[in-house]
């Protein structure tokens, strides 16, 4: 059977990737963010899984508004890195894992999560920035094959926080029922509080972020109970994408061990958070 060995929650702000791509990680405006990643990166380098699953959303690069799948999963052998307008990020294309992905689709649809299946998908910063947070210098290839799990967080109504958490629980069961022996890392991406448009642009809510950071470890059900309205009110119109952390958290056991977490404002217009959990009671 396959086994989830860790969960990583991280913001996927494009400027984090741009700072890395342009060698600005020692810049005074960025240094504290990247210093805050270091303990997680060191631990992850020692705990390489066989496959990773990245829970993320696309930002007008891989898919447009012709189709707005609430949840989607990639079953392709590879995923090209998207050119978002000014050249693609200088990072490797992504090798997929069709066997596990197809098993996940079957298991999840059996559990009545009716996912959209992607056989072709270009992945954008929402996907590649978390991989860079994990692995700053991938060389020619990312550490392992990666499966994209897409969540619509851009167009209202987004799935509820409760549904995301339930999807994560079902994802965990689907992984454990895979017949092959595999270790799996799950990344939940996006957040933390931020709002990009409107007179409330620039909104940051450190109190809410602190509550979220603590509860994602010890009481994720309390976060799953938050309504969309409450999330938008507390985390900002775009901060609602934090619901993707709940998919990751659901795939882990109730008991996890926190390896590292950190919080930084601002990454562009966003509060950036990272939280790394070893799965199980340790």
Partner 1 sequence: MSETAPDRFGLSGTPIFDGETSRRGLRMNKLFMSLRTAENRERFLADEAGYCQGFGLSPEQQQAVLARDWQAMIDLGGSIFYVYKLAMMDGRSMQYLGGVFTGMGEDDFLAAMRAGGRRDG
Interacting residues toward Fe ion by CB under 5 A = 126, 190, 241
Decide whether 9 or 240 has the Cβ nearer to partner 1.
240
Alpha carbons 72 and 148: distance in angstroms, whole number: 8
Alpha carbons 66 and 63: distance in angstroms, whole number: 8
Is 194 marked active-site? yes
Most distant pair of Cα atoms in the chain: their distance:
52
Contact 125, 17 (CB under 8 A): yes
Catalytic residue among 12, 103, 194, 260: 194
Alpha carbons 11 and 242: distance in angstroms, whole number: 9
Alpha carbons 182 and 144: distance in angstroms, whole number: 11
Residues 90, 112, 139, 197: which binds partner 1 (CB under 8 A)?
Answer: 197
By CB under 8 A, the count of residues binding partner 1 is 43
Please list, in sequence order, all residues whose beta carbon lies within 8 angstroms of the beta carbon of residue 175, skipping any fewer than 6 positions away. Answer: 2, 3, 4, 53, 100, 104, 184, 251
Residues 177, 214, 269, 278: which binds partner 1 (CB under 8 A)?
Answer: 269
x/- letters, 203..242, toward partner 1 (CB under 8 A): xxxx----------------------x--xx--xxx----
Residue 67 burial (CB < 10 Å; 0-12/13-18/19+)? exposed
x/- letters, 42..81, toward partner 1 (CB under 8 A): -----------------xxx--xxx-x-------------
N- to C-terminal Cα separation, the chain = 19
Per rule CB under 8 A, is residue 85 in the interface with partner 1?
A: yes
11 binds, among partner 1, Fe ion, none (CB under 5 to 8 A by kind): none
Is 125 marked active-site? yes
Residues 154, 162, 215, 221: which binds partner 1 (CB under 8 A)?
Answer: 154
Contact 186, 266 (CB under 8 A): no
Active site residues: 125, 194
Residues that bind partner 1 (CB under 8 A): 15, 29, 59-61, 64-66, 68, 82-86, 154-157, 193-206, 229, 232-233, 236-238, 265-266, 268-269, 271
């Amino acid at each position: 059977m396959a086994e989830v060995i860790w969960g990583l929650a991280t913001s996927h702000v494009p400027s984090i990737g741009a700072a890395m791509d342009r060698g600005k990680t020692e810049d005074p405006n960025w240094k504290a963010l990247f210093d805050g990643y270091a303990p997680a990166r060191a631990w992850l380098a020692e705990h390489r899984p066989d496959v990773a699953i990245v829970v993320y959303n696309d930002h007008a690069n891989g898919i447009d508004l012709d189709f707005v799948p609430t949840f989607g999963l990639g079953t392709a052998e590879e995923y090209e890195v998207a050119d978002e307008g000014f050249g693609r990020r200088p990072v490797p294309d992504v090798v997929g894992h069709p066997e596990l992905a197809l098993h996940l689709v079957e298991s999840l649809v059996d559990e009545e999560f009716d996912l959209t299946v992607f056989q072709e998908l270009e992945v954008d910063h929402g996907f590649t920035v978390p991989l860079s947070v994990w692995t700053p210098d991938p060389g020619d290839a990312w550490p392992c094959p990666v499966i994209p799990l897409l969540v619509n967080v851009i167009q209202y109504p987004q799935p509820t926080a409760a549904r995301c958490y339930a999807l994560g629980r079902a994802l965990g069961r689907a992984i454990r029922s895979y017949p092959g022996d595999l270790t799996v890392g799950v990344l939940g991406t996006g957040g933390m509080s931020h709002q990009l448009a409107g007179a409330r642009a620039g909104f940051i809510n450190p109190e809410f972020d602190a509550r979220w950071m603590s509860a994602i470890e010890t009481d994720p059900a309390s976060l799953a109970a938050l309504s969309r309205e409450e999330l938008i009110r507390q985390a900002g119109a775009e901060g609602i994408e934090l619901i993707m952390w709940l998919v990751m958290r659901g795939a882990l056991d109730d008991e996890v061990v926190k390896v590292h977490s950190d919080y930084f404002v601002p990454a562009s217009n966003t509060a950036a958070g990272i939280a790394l959990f070893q799965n199980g009671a340790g």
